[in-house]
Structure 1
Amino acid sequence: MNQMISHAQKETSMNVHDATHFDRARSDELVPSRYALRVGEIDVMVISDGVLTPPAESMATNADPAVRGAWLDDMFLSRDAFDWALNEVVVRSGDQTILIDSGLGVEYPDFPRAGQLGSRLDAAGIDLGSVTDVVLTHMHFDHVGGLLVDGVKERLRPDLRIHVAAAEVKFWGAPDFSRTAMPPALADLARGASRQFLDEYRNQLRIFEEQHEVAPGVVVSRTGGHTPGHSVVRLASGGDRLMFAGDAIFPVSFDHPEWHNGFEHDPEEATRVRIRLMRELVETGAWLVATHMPFPSIGRVAAAGDLFRWVPTWWDY
Structure 2
Amino acid sequence: MMFSVDETLRPGSQSPAQMPDELVPSRYALRVGEIDVLVISDGVFPLPATTLATNADPADLAAWLDDRRQPSDVYKWPLNVVVVRSGGRTVLIDSGMGEEYPDFPRAGGLLAHRLEHAGIDPASVTDVVLTHVHVDHVGGLLADGLKGRLRPDVPIHVAAAEVEFWESPDFSRNTFGGMPDVLRSAAKRFLDEYRSQLRPFDAEYEVAPGVVVCRTGGHTPGHSVVRLASGGDRLTFLGDAVFPDHFDRPDWHNAFDHDPEEAVRVRVRLLRELAQTREPLVATHLSFPSFGRVAVAGDVFRWVPVDWDY
- Post-superposition offset of 1:182: 4.2
Aligned letter for 2:26? S
Q: Classify the secondary structure of the residue corresponding to 1:29.
A: coil
- Once the two structures are superposed, the pairs formed by residues 215-226 of structure 1 within 5 Å of their partners are 215-226=208-219
Query: Scaled by the length of structure 2, what TM-score is found?
Result: 0.93
**Does 1:169 find its partner at 2:154?**
no
Aligned letter for 1:96? R
Q: 1:300 aligns with which of 280, 293, 305?
A: 293
**Does 1:310 find its partner at 2:296?**
no
Q: Classify the secondary structure of the residue corresponding to 1:171.
A: helix
Q: Classify the secondary structure of the residue corresponding to 2:284.
A: coil
Aligned in 2, Cα 1:229/1:272: closer, same or farther, shift over 3 Å? same
Q: 1:120 aligns with which of 104, 114, 117?
A: 114
Aligned in 2, Cα 1:238/1:178: closer, same or farther, shift over 3 Å? same
Aligned letter for 2:180? A
Q: For the residues of structure 2 that align with 1:44 and 1:294, how far apart are their CA atoms?
A: 17
Moved over 6 A (4+): none
**Which residue matches 2:146?**
152
CA RMSD of aligned residues (A): 1.6
- Once the two structures are superposed, the pairs formed by residues 108-257 of structure 1 within 5 Å of their partners are 108-112=101-105, 113-150=107-144, 152-184=146-178, 186-257=179-250
**Which residue matches 1:279?**
272
Q: Deviations over 1:171-219 (max 9, x none)?
A: 00011112224455x2101100000000010000110001111110000
**Which residue matches 1:30?**
23
Identity percentage of aligned residues:
67
Alignment coverage as a number of residue pairs: 300
Q: For the residues of structure 1 that align with 2:215 and 2:45, how far apart are their CA atoms?
A: 25
Q: 1:88 aligns with which of 81, 101, 117?
A: 81
Q: Which runs of 5+ in 1 are unaligned?
A: 1-16
Aligned letter for 1:291? T
Q: Deviations over 1:155-183 (max 9, x none)?
A: 11123110000000000001111222445
Q: For the residues of structure 2 that align with 1:110 and 1:303, how far apart are their CA atoms?
A: 41
Q: Classify the secondary structure of the residue corresponding to 2:79.
A: strand
